[in-house]
Amino acid sequence: MNKTPAAGAPPKRAIDIVNASLKRRYARERRFRFIGLSAVILGLSFVGLLFADIIAKGHSAFVQTYIQLPVHFEAAVLDPDGSRNPEVLARANYQQLIRDALRTEFPGVTDRRETRTLYSMISVGAPTQLRDRVLANPDLIGTTQDVWLLADDDIDMLVKGHIDRGLPENQRRVKDQAVGWVEQLEAQGRIAKRFNTIFFTNGTSREPELAGIAGALMGSFYTLILTLLFAFPIGVGAAIYLEEFAPKNRWTDLIEVNINNLAAVPSIVFGLLGLAVFISVFGVPRSTPLVAALVLTLMTLPTIIIASRAALKSVPPSIREAALGVGASPLQTQIHHVLPLAMPGMLTGTIIGMAQALGETAPLLMIGMIAFIVEIPSGFTSPSTVLPVQIFLWADSPERAFVERTSAAIMVLLAFLILMNLTAVLLRRRFERRW
Amino acid sequence: MSTTLDEMTVRTRATTSAELASGRESRETVGDVTSANPRMVCRHVDVFYGSTQAIKDVSLDIGKNEVVSMIGPSGCGKSTFLRCLNRMNDTIDGCRVTGSITLDGLDIYDKGLDPVPLRAQVGMVFQKPNPFPKSIYENVAYGPRILGLTNSKAELDDIIEGSLRKAGLWNEVKDRLDKPGTGLSGGQQQRLCIARTIAVSPEVILMDEPCSALDPIATAIIEELIDELRSNYSIAIVTHSMQQAARVSQRTAYFHLGDLIEVGETNQIFTNPKHKLTEDYITGRFG
Amino acid sequence: MSTTLDEMTVRTRATTSAELASGRESRETVGDVTSANPRMVCRHVDVFYGSTQAIKDVSLDIGKNEVVSMIGPSGCGKSTFLRCLNRMNDTIDGCRVTGSITLDGLDIYDKGLDPVPLRAQVGMVFQKPNPFPKSIYENVAYGPRILGLTNSKAELDDIIEGSLRKAGLWNEVKDRLDKPGTGLSGGQQQRLCIARTIAVSPEVILMDEPCSALDPIATAIIEELIDELRSNYSIAIVTHSMQQAARVSQRTAYFHLGDLIEVGETNQIFTNPKHKLTEDYITGRFG
Amino acid sequence: MHTSTLLILVLAFMSLAYYVGRKRAISTAGGVTRINTLHSLPVYYGLYAALWAGLPALLLMGLWAGFQDDILVALVKSELPATMLDGLSPGAASLLVNDIKNLASGAIVSRTPTPEMQLAADRYNLYNQFAVWAMWLAVSALALGGMAFAWLRTQPKMRARNRVESIFMAILVIFSSIAILTTLGIVLSVLFESMRFFQEVSPLEFFFGTLWSPQTALRADQIGASGAFGAVPLFTGTLMVSAIAMFVAVPIGLMSAIYLSEYAPRKVRAWAKPTLEVLAGVPTVVYGFFAALTVAPFIRELGMSMGLNVASESALAAGLVMGIMIIPFVSSLSEDVINAVPQAMRDGSYALGATQSETIRRVIIPAALPGIVGGILLAVSRAIGETMIVVMAAGLAANLTANPLESVTTVTVQIVTLLTGDQEFDSAKTMAAFALGLTLFVVTLTLNVIALHIVRKYREQYE
Amino acid sequence: RDSVWIAGSSTVFPFSTTVAETFGRETSFPTPKVEALGTGGGFKIFCSGVGVDKPDISNASRAIKLSEFDECQANGVTEITEVKIGYDGIAIANSKQSPVIDLNLAELWLALAKDIPNEAGEFVANPYRKWSEINPDLPDVAIEVLGPPPTSGTRDAFVEIAMEGGCNTFDAVKALKDSDKDKHKAVCHGIREDGAFIEAGENDNLIVQKIVANPNAIGIFGFSFLDQNTDTIQGTLIDGIEPTFESIADGSYPVARSIYFYVKNAHVGTIPGIQEYVVEFTSDKAWGPEGYLVDKGLIPLPDAMRASMGADAQALTPMTAPAN
Ligand SMILES: Nc1ncnc2c1ncn2[C@@H]1O[C@H](COP(=O)(O)OP(=O)(O)OP(=O)(O)O)[C@@H](O)[C@H]1O
Ligand SMILES: Nc1ncnc2c1ncn2[C@@H]1O[C@H](COP(=O)(O)OP(=O)(O)OP(=O)(O)O)[C@@H](O)[C@H]1O
Ligand SMILES: [Mg+2]
Ligand SMILES: [Mg+2]
Ligand SMILES: O=P([O-])([O-])[O-]
């Protein structure tokens, strides 16, 4: 009590001693609580800081610059024999159309170098863009259309303001002349930033404006699905066996220590192991979600097992006794009573393990995941890469436009992570109880 | 917070929807709920678990140097009421207390009042023994340590031995003070919890069936302890044994379905209960 | 595993080092430990927690249609002995049982014997109520479900209602069967655990102070239940109330510091104990 | 006719078997009303039948899928004109087979197919079809056979639950042994190379040498550095970085766990915990950049302004960021175990007049200790094993120093740099990576043994 | 396997992938898979044998070594076609916030060498701490150079070209060349380990950003990274020559190296697309002076060399054993 209660108390009342020291104890309490709160806030602000940093760098990658040009779909170029044969149309020289369009737009450009600069304003992916349009609608042939064409990454950077137009020309990748053209187009409203669908639908590419994360995302998806399928049952099963059924002796102690120790093995060593065992001995194909999942399973197992064992340990023995006492078998006791109570902890372990697997690069270096794979993987055994590796590769690319794409890819990875965690968190909440 | 009993205005009870739902008003308590020399004064206490009401408009005093026993059928709200007296109900989600409870005139449910010293002053022995997962020694030493009641190891050792002796456990555990308290038998755990409580010399002691797991001899020791403690402190005890109530308490309160049916001198309650329900219960005709 | 009682050879006891350490041989049991019509036969049972011995060379039968009560001071090993009878001791790390215990002639500690059906057959009510953190309904339904005692929801509902009624809890909980069993009062939890145990109709029932948290009326209901169950089953009950032992049991066993001191007809034990220790305990002169 | 269709078929068989097994159990018992004469619940007879139907079939399927292609290839090869395979190394033969397979599957081939190849491809297709049919038949037959077997075995006395449970138990044992096998695999895969390393470099130098500069004498034509293999600086570096990381992660993680489970309102907890967990999943490359480009310069500036000499790649920067990464290992795992401590423990403490923080510090934390230590151990382990952050932020210079403001390198960094990039086949340099891996393994094993003993000693079991 | 598999140098990776991508887009072959394992890592699996589970092409930022070639031979990889694809300049640069530095190779060597000759011609541990101690005209700041680790091809090239070039300007060193070849090499190639040279990992972007953050530091990395970041960093003049596209292409900028890829001839004709890929790579529209690889930072070979190299490559003429 904050006040000393009624006077006239017997001489040495415990409460007096208590009250005397109360202030100090409360100071300690407040301090403790404050430290706790600061810890949470600190932790959360790290998350915030990282997110803010990443979003600030990456948000602009979600839009992409397009340049509008009147393109004449010259029949002579596209379909010289007039057959409208899709095969012929597919092989036609669409580049030509774009170059023509550019030259008509900027008639003054004649110098060879200048023409090159001019052509390079439009992405090398633009011809494909045109081809798809023509294939979808062959009637375009012979007409002139205003088409929004994908801009090259340098122009994209310039339009987004990542290249400072105020710098001296020799310190810029985009030269004055190109800046002039861009400004001219901007004045005409022929430059627009649109939502970057390519980023979400394409596989990777050397051209930043064509590079997408779909391949890596699918790779991560397949990898994680498999990892979860392998690691969760194995981890939980192993934890249950070791904690609940295995006889407690030196041998199981050794296993426990050993599992703890596996968590400290550098992840790249798991890559070595995967290379030696899964690829060399069992012939699992390289660079596939399957082999990645196997390696990541081995890597995440300790996390899941340790967390699950801790969770099992915290279930009071009386619950087990109660179940055994009415004739439940040990396995039933586990499945009906202990497991539901330990599930939140197990799920936490799984969340963290999966998060780790999702963000891991090092072991994948060893098993061929650090690769340029354009095709979007279609299954567990098609060659693919994963998000963190894609990020790793993009981060190592010279092109400036990859900087924002790297951050955007990180954002997608984090979104993936959050989505994944959300499911587990919801599950976890269903199981959580205090008694 | 210098509210004294005199100044204290008993809060008016609002009829809650839960009460209306339960379809019945609480019963009037028979007998004198007050004590000549009260330490704790409860007035119109209602307790709700979520929307169900477990205690209905109970008023009761606990006097100085007196043992009040609470009896009543299982589930009638004795533990719930007891837990109100040192705000242990705070820890139960969804548990809500209204009405007023004062200790030496101070409203213990006052917003500004801090339950921590209150609980040091109003100790409690729980119905289910809950020893800490520590050694027997540490279990008893815990209270004195955190409250800073001792200055030296020797003093602490004394307190621990004294408390364990009073609880009649010393002989059984003196050789294994460093063994975990959770490895004791049921009755030993119960006595350990009693020792743990008296080690901090609380002025009011709430005991929820402290002898339920004890044999007659151990029970006698605890009853003796209660009698001894009474000379300085106030005690509220929940018990299912009428004999025990009769032996240790000066006043007895009979609870029934959340109502305090009757309060009175222990003698009177057991020999001459006024309320029909009390009588039925005492004579075993109930149910 | 077709060992019958006749074939069974009582294993010779080896004097263990722990015993030597404890410095004293176990005492001889006074009275007849056998039963005319035994269901469970225990011979020379020793129980160790790590290196300390909690039960010393105890032999005791539990007969058909009989209630055996076990009394003795707190910590004397009653719970320990009871837990041996359905191998609940298996769950305690470092607990070791030697000697022989048979159920209908089958050694329950036989390697090949599966403790799971044994425990369904020998039900147990624990000293500390331990409801599952599930609903009241699920608490009782669990046993019948896993043992496949019912074929339909209706049948299950019947079993649950019946068990709760027999345990005297039905009226208190019938409106809140879907509420958690852990939100009940102490006595209610205890009765819930009794209901849970009898719901699977075990043939031998072990009860560790089943009425410790119950008021006289609830106690009477449980005692009635015990009486009723006795007509078909065998029951071993630990209790601290001599009255209760006298009321419900046919035979009584008195434990002291891990020894079984005396066994006999309940009447005889309470009116005419043969051993000095028993007498002291019964008359309250002990300690 | 895809394998996954067959898988679904087997699963369907299993469900059927489950249903049939149950039914059969009930009928042998004499109807629904008499199922209590069964040894186990009907469910278990169902599971028993399902397992009999599924397990052998799945096993066969696995084996078949694993060996089918090898057998087909052997068949096709044996029928190829001998001249085609003459003098081909196994690798070259595999290329030929690959071409035949490409031809068979209709993909682009690298040359105009010869009639022999075309024939082989056709044969391959034929055999393949046949094999697939055979597999379907065999697997279905086995599934049905298993089901029939279970059907015959089903009778009231059969201890179905025990059988099913022992199968599950066996599965659990297999799961647990995976950890052992992994260890075995790791040890074996590093042991060999380590032994070879120690033949070239004396263990004495490796374990006690204080100079690490492995880039020399390794390739005849490369002169990198002095070629010293004293691993001590690596271990002290690892120790320092991990210690700094733990210095960040343990207090923040543990205090967050405590705050979230004991003080924070439910709602805050509900979102704060998963938010913190995100930290564990941020790719380590991102942390690497964060450490190298944000934290390290900041610390350097700060140090400079205080007149300290700070390396641009200080151990401090790497350690701090690594600490951030492993916060959730401590916070989330601890939070779960703290939450699992029964309320009765808290009640017992409050009733003695303890404040909340006293209760937490003296009752809850000790009770939850095994789990908390587990989480911390996991965090330490992660710190020791983490690579990318240190590669990018702590540099590669092996300094033997106790000053966190200097740059250090860690064992993992060295392993990665030695194993990736421009490496030689059997140079001591590459093998040094294995020796480092092995040593790290042994060192952490020792640490874990010690940790286990400590936990055992202080463990407090409630109830 | 129906697609080409390429593995090896991370320096060649951007070029290789660009070709692969175009190849995949413009032909009916699937896009080749390109793995970035580093030059040595690439040779390691490339030379491990012939077969579907071995790569078809290995990228390299240096020529194959004899030891690697022998390993290849030993494993049955007998016929290898070497294709030199162009040059990669190695830029030395610092932040724009500091003045441009003008070094010659000798000064560079003096700043980074492990041991340098003193007046008496004896070799002593490098005493220089500041640039100005080497040459008073150089800035008065501590020597702090961030560069790639020895596992990277960039480092190899830097050592072989810049360091060796620098050390040979000293008579004492030059004398060694004839007397003690090994010693000469050790002296020329040895990079100091006292903290002035910081091994900053394989990620060139990271080095770029680190020198932006630390204006006193100098970084060593691939030319394309300088090219992409001209707004924040500036190339150091070496022997008065600025690292630019032109100066590297015409050979006046001294620190440039050749980059290569190697084709496993045994796989040609069994894995579809290898030959076609080589053709694409060696077409003018790819590696020519106006080709798309130039946009990616490749410095093309001189025309004549390109023509002969291209012809050899397309004919898959196997190489002979390298000199060392
Ligand atoms: N898990 C355990 N570990 C170690 N010792 C134990 C354990 N459980 C009980 N004991 C000890 O064994 C002895 C017998 O305990 P038991 O629980 O059988 O007593 P009891 O007769 O049931 O007592 P009560 O009436 O108090 O419940 C006691 O001394 C007790 O302290
Ligand atoms: N945490 C809780 N949540 C909901 N209802 C509760 C909770 N605790 C107790 N109750 C209910 O409140 C009523 C009073 O419970 P209380 O524990 O006070 O009874 P009691 O008089 O102590 O009974 P006993 O003698 O059996 O211990 C009972 O009906 C009980 O079921
Ligand atoms: Mg109660
Ligand atoms: Mg007991
Ligand atoms: O990957 P590298 O080119 O540095 O060997």
**Per-position DSSP letters for A395-413, written without gaps between them:** HT---THHHHHHHHHHHHH
Residue C252 resides in a domain: yes
What is the rounded distance in angstroms from the CA atom of residue E168 to the CA atom of residue E188? 8
Q: Give the separation between CA E245 and CA A113, rounded to whole angstroms.
A: 14
The Cα-based distances of A230 to A224, A233, C169, D364 in angstroms read: 10, 6, 47, 34
Range E18-29 average pLDDT: 87
Verify that D169 and D128 share a domain, yes or no.
no
| C-alpha distances out from residue E60 to E13, E32, E281, Å | 9, 17, 15
Pocket test for ligand 5, best of E9, E43, E260 (most atoms within 8 A of CB): E9
Asked whether residue C214 is assigned to any structural domain, the reply reads no
Phi and psi angles of residue A371, each rounded to the nearest 5 degrees, phi first: -145, 160
Q: Closest Cα of chain D to E303: distance in Å?
A: 30
Q: Do chains C and D touch (3 or more CB pairs under 8 A)?
A: yes
Q: Say yes or no: CB of residue E9 within 6 Å of ligand 5.
A: yes
Assess contact for B223 and B252: CB atoms under 8 A: no
Cα(B189) to centroid(ligand 4), Å:
10
B14 belongs to a structural domain? no
**Residue holding tokens 């175990």?**
D337
Whether residue C188 has its Cβ less than 6 Å from ligand 2: yes
CA distance C220 to C223: 5
Flag whether residue A314 sits within 8 Å of chain C, measured between CB atoms: no
Residues D34 and D149 in one domain: yes
Residue C92 alpha carbon to ligand 4 centre in Å? 14
Residue C213 beta carbon below 6 angstroms from any ligand 2 atom: yes
* Full set of structural domains in chain A with CATH: 59-196 (no CATH), 214-431 (1.10.3720.10)
Chain B closest-CA separation from residue D263 CA (Å): 12
Ligand 2 within 6 A of B117 CB? no
Query: Closest Cα of chain D to E254: distance in Å?
Result: 20
Q: Does D322 share its domain with D183?
A: no
Q: Which residue from E34, E37, E39 has its CB within 8 A of the most atoms of ligand 5, so it is best to mutate? A: E39
Task: Tell me the torsion sign for CA atoms C75, C77, C80, C85.
Answer: negative
Kindly compute the dihedral angle of the four CA atoms of residues E140, E141, E147, E150, in this order, to the nearest 10 degrees: 90
Pairing of strands B38-49, B52-63: antiparallel
Residue A37: exposure state from Cβ atoms within 10 A (0-12, 13-18, ≥19): middle
- DSSP conformation letters of D110-146: SSPPPHHHHHHHHHHHHHHHHHHHHHHHHHHHHHHHH
Helices and strands in chain C: count of H runs, count of E runs: 11, 10
Alpha helices in chain C (DSSP H): 17-22, 78-84, 115-121, 136-147, 153-166, 170-173, 186-198, 216-230, 242-248, 266-271, 276-282
Residue D411's domain spans which residues? 228-462
> How would you classify the pairing of strands C67-71 and B251-256?
unpaired
pLDDT, residue B286, reads 52
Calpha distance A48→D396 (Å, rounded): 30
Q: Are residues D307 and D442 in the same domain?
A: yes
Q: Say yes or no: E269 contacts chain D, CB-CB below 8 A.
A: yes
Residues of chain C contacting B48 with CB distance shorter than 8 Å: none
Q: Kindly state whether residues D254 and D394 are assigned to the same domain.
A: yes
The segments of chain A whose pLDDT lies below 50 read: 1-11
Name the token pair of D203. Answer: 């263990």
pTM of the model: 0.89
Q: What is the pLDDT of residue D256?
A: 94
Hey, are the CB atoms on D461 and B200 less than 8 Å from each other?
no
Chunk chain D into consecutive blocks of 10 residues (it has 463) and report each block's average pLDDT, rounded to whole numbers.
82 91 84 76 87 90 84 82 74 79 72 77 86 89 90 83 88 88 86 85 84 58 56 89 92 93 87 86 84 85 85 86 91 88 88 89 87 86 85 79 85 82 65 87 86 74 50
Shared domain for D370 and D380, answered yes or no, is: yes
- The shortest CB-CB distance from A326 to any of C128, C182, C196 is to C196
- What is the value of ipTM here, to two decimals? 0.88
| pLDDT at residue number C100 | 92
Does E10 sit in the ligand 5 pocket, CB within 6 Å? Answer: yes
User: In total, how many domains does chain B have?
Assistant: 1
Instruction: Please check whether residue B118 lies inside any domain of the structure.
Output: no
SS3 of residue D430 by DSSP: helix
pLDDT attached to residue C285? 60
pLDDT at position C19? 40
Contacts of B126 in chain D (CB under 8 A): 344, 347-348, 351
D159 contacts on C by Cβ (under 8 Å)? 114
From ligand 3's centre to the CA of A317, what distance in Å?
23
Q: Identify the CATH number of the domain in which residue C78 sits.
A: 3.40.50.300
Residue B125 is predicted with a pLDDT of 93
In this complex, which chains have at least 3 CB pairs below 8 Å with chain B? A, C, D
Residue at token pair 């010279």? A398
Alpha-carbon distance A44 to nearest alpha carbon in chain E (angstroms): 27
Residue type, A312: L
Query: Which ligand number lies closest to the CA of residue E156?
Result: 5
Whether C48 is in a domain gets the answer yes
A191–chain E nearest CA distance, Å: 23
Q: Are residues D37 and D172 in the same domain?
A: no
| d(CA C78, ligand 1 centre) in Å | 8
Report whether pLDDT(C183) > 70.
yes
C149 to chain D: closest CA residue: D36
Report, as an integer, the average pLDDT of B9-37: 57
- pLDDT 10s digits, D134-168: 888 999 999 999 889 888 888 888 888 888 888 99
- What CATH number is given to the structural domain containing D373? 1.10.3720.10
- Residue B2 within a domain: no
Residue D131 shares a structural domain with residue D10: yes
Question: Do the domain assignments include residue B287?
Answer: yes
d(CA D318, CA D27): 69
The count of structural domains within chain D is 3
User: In Å, how far are B15, B89, D339, D420, E69 from D219, measured between CA atoms?
Assistant: 92, 76, 57, 15, 14
Q: What is the pLDDT of residue E25?
A: 83
Find all residues with CB under 8 Å of A150, minimum gap 6, and list them.
Answer: A64, A66, A122, A123, A125, A126, A129, A198, A209, A210
Residues D291 and D244 in one domain: yes
Ligand 1 nearest atom to the CA of residue C82, by list position: 18
CA distance B74 to B210: 15
User: Whole domain around residue B95: which residue ranges?
Assistant: 25-110+240-287
Taking CA–CA distances from C127, the nearest residue in chain B reads B186
Task: Report the distance separating Cα C87 and Cα C108, nearest Å.
Answer: 8
**D29/D50 same-domain check:** yes
Tell me, in angstroms, the distance from the centre of ligand 5 to residue D422's CA: 6
User: Has residue D218 been placed in a domain?
Assistant: no
D379 domain residue, yes or no: yes
Give residue-wise pLDDT tens across range C52-62. 899 999 999 99
E8 pocket-lining for ligand 5 (C-beta < 6 Å): no
pLDDT at D279: 87
pLDDT tier at C10, thresholds 50, 70, 90: very low
Residues of chain B contacting residue A432, judged by C-beta atoms under 8 Å apart: none
pLDDT-derived band at C164 (thresholds 50, 70, 90) equals very high
pLDDT at position E206 is 85
Interface of C with A (CB under 8 A): 86, 88, 91, 93, 115-117, 119-121, 123-124, 126, 128, 130-133, 142-143, 146-147, 182, 193, 196-197, 199-200, 202
Tell whether A313 lies on the interface with C, counting CB pairs under 8 A: no
Higher pLDDT, C25 or A230: A230
Q: Of A73, A70, A105, A120, whose CA–CA distance to A92 is shortest?
A: A73
